[in-house]
Structures are given as C-alpha cells and as structure tokens.
C-alpha cells in the first residue's frame, strides 16, 4: 500500500511538472508568434494587467511592447528556447529563455508570470527589445482614455503610426 501511495505522489508531481512545462512552452511560442506575425492579439491573453518591463513604468512598458509588435521593421525571432524555469510558490513562475533573432544575435529573456485559471499571465519582462535595436515611440494620450481599468485590452486604442526607417529628425 505504501508503495502505491508513493508511486501515486511521484506520478502526480511529474504530471504537474509536465503540465507546467507545456504551459511555459505555449507562452514562449505565443510571444514569438506575436512578434513575428505582428499580432498583439496572440500575446494579449498572456499579459497581466500589471504587466511591466524592468526599468520602465507600467504604461510606457505596455506602449513599448505594443509598438514593437506593430512595428514593420521589428526583428523577427528565429528561435526561442527555454533555458530553465522555477516556481517561487504555487502561482509565481520565473522563466528564463534565450531568443535568437534573424540576424543571429541572442538575447536572454526573463519572464515572471502568475498562474491564473490554468493560464500563465506575464507581469514582468526583463526586456522586450532585441540588442542594438532602437524604437522611438512618440505618443500623446490621456492615460485614463487609453489604459483605464483594462490596460491590456485598451492599449488597442493607441494608434501606432509606423514610419519605419524613413522617419528621422533630419530626413523627410
């Protein structure tokens, strides 16, 4: 009987780990596809209303991510691979991955997320721009109008004017 109980506990733990790994891989693939397909709707279900990029305030973080996803010249991710992940408690995941871009530059990606109704919700990224990539966002908006109570959905009210590389201070 003891052997059965121990076997059951081990099996339960392994299937839980496997289920978590599947969720993490799905999240990473969705992140990659959102950027490569320039489709915010792919990543939106995985973003927490508290989403923030390290070193940037919450609203500017969301503007930067949304702008990068919608920018015509954003660098595509060739590959994103899971390095390791851990759980700090039953709901907080820390995911470390490595992104490889089309120009073969690599960038470490650290994602902090919460488990929410069987889905992971990103609340913190270490960065959302590739190395040596410059993105200038110029926007005027009223936080309450664009963000309100549901920042992740309402960011779509922000119009992205993509002037790509032709936009400069000295050029046309």
Q: What CA–CA distance (Å, rounded) separates 140 from 128?
A: 22
Q: What is the pLDDT of residue 100?
A: 94
Confidence (pLDDT) at 93: 94
Q: Which residues pair with 81 in a beta bridge?
A: 98
Predicted local distance difference test score (pLDDT) of residue 46: 96
Residue 38 has pLDDT above 80, yes or no: yes
Mean pLDDT of the chain: 81
What was the pLDDT predicted at 123? 95
Chain Cα centroid distance, residue 122 = 6
Q: Is the pLDDT of residue 115 over 60?
A: yes
Residue 59: pLDDT band with limits 50, 70, 90:
confident
DSSP letter at 68?
Answer: H
Report which of residues 38 and 5 the model is more confident about.
38
Query: Is 168 a residue whose pLDDT tops 60?
Result: no
Residue 78: what pLDDT? Answer: 95
DSSP state of 90: S
Please determine, for residue 61, whether its predicted confidence score (pLDDT) is greater than 60: yes
In this predicted structure, the answer to whether residue 172 has a pLDDT above a threshold of 60 is no
Do 20 and 93 form a contact (C-beta atoms < 8 A)? yes
Burial 23-42 (b: 16+ CB within 10 A, else e): bbbebbebbbebbbebebeb
pLDDT at 141 (0 to 100): 63
SS3 98: strand
SS3 content of the chain, % helix, strand, coil (to 5): 40, 25, 35
Q: Cβ(43)–Cβ(69) under 8 Å?
A: yes
Q: Which residue in 144, 122, 113 sits closest to 61, CA to CA?
A: 122
**pLDDT range class, residue 14, cuts 50, 70, 90:** very low
In this prediction, residue 48 has a pLDDT band, given cuts at 50, 70 and 90, of very high
Give CA–CA dist 104/20, Å, rounded.
29
pLDDT in tens, 142-163: 666 667 778 888 888 777 666 5
- Cα(158)–Cα(133) distance, integer angstroms: 22
Q: Which tokens hold the place of 59? A: 């609203």
Average pLDDT over every residue of 108-123: 92
pLDDT at residue number 162:
61
């Amino acid at each position: 009987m003891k052997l059965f109980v121990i076997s059951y506990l081990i099996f339960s733990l392994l299937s839980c780990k496997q289920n978590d790994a599947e969720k993490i891989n799905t999240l990473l693939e969705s992140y990659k596809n959102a950027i490569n397909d320039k489709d915010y709707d792919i990543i939106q279900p995985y973003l927490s209303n508290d989403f923030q990029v390290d070193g940037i305030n919450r609203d500017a973080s969301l503007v930067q991510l949304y702008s990068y996803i919608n920018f015509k010249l954003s660098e595509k991710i060739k590959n994103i691979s899971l390095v390791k992940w851990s759980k700090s408690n039953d709901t907080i995941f820390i995911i470390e991955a490595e992104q490889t871009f089309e120009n073969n530059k690599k960038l470490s990606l650290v994602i902090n997320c919460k488990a929410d109704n069987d889905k992971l919700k990103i609340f913190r990224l270490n960065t959302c721009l590739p190395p040596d990539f410059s993105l200038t966002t110029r926007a005027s908006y009223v936080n309450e109008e664009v963000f309100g109570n549901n920042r992740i959905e309402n960011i779509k009210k922000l119009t992205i004017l993509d002037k790509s590389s032709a936009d400069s201070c000295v050029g046309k």
